[in-house]
Chains A and B, each alone.
Chain A
Amino acid sequence: MITLDTYFDYVILPILSISALLVFIRLLKGPAVVDRVIALDLIITIGIGIITVYSIRMDQKVLLDVAIILALIAFLGTVAFSYYIEKQKDD
Chain B
Amino acid sequence: MIEIIIGLISTIGALSILFASIGILRMPDFYLRLSVTVKASTLGVGLLLVCAAIVFPDVSVTTKAIAIFFFLLITAPIAGHMIARSAYFIGTPLWKGTIVDELAGMYNKETHELESDPDRIDPKEAIPNIASDDEKQED
Could you tell me if B14 and A75 are in contact, using CB atoms closer than 8 angstroms? no
Question: Please, which residues of chain B bring their CB within 8 A of the CB of A32?
Answer: 30, 87, 90, 92
CB under 8 Å from chain B, chain A span 57-72: 61, 64-65, 67-68, 71-72
Indicate the size class of the contact surface on chain A: 35 or more
Counting chain A CB atoms within 10 Å of each CB, which of B37, B45, B51, B89 scores highest? B45
Question: Please, which residues of chain B bring their CB within 8 A of the CB of A45?
Answer: 17, 41-42, 45, 72, 76
Question: Complex: how many Å from CA A22 to CA B37?
Answer: 13
B7 at interface (Cβ–Cβ under 8 A)?
yes
Could you tell me if A53 and B87 are in contact, using CB atoms closer than 8 angstroms? no
Q: What is the interface size of chain B, counting residues whose CB is below 8 A from a CB of the partner?
A: 53
- Interface of B: prevailing SS: helix
B52 at interface (Cβ–Cβ under 8 A)?
yes
Instruction: State which of A3, A46, A67, A82 has its C-beta within 8 Å of the C-beta of B41.
Output: A46
A35 at interface (Cβ–Cβ under 8 A)?
yes
5 contacts between A and B (CB under 8 A): A12-B14, A32-B87, A49-B45, A83-B82, A86-B89
Instruction: Rank and list the top 3 A-B pairs by shortest CB-CB distance, nearest first.
Output: A19-B21, A86-B86, A78-B79
Q: Which residues of B contact A (CB under 8 A)?
A: 3, 6-7, 10-11, 13-15, 17-18, 20-22, 24-25, 30, 33-34, 37, 41-42, 44-45, 48-49, 51-52, 55-56, 58, 60-61, 64-65, 67-68, 71-72, 75-76, 78-80, 82-83, 85-87, 89-90, 92, 112, 138
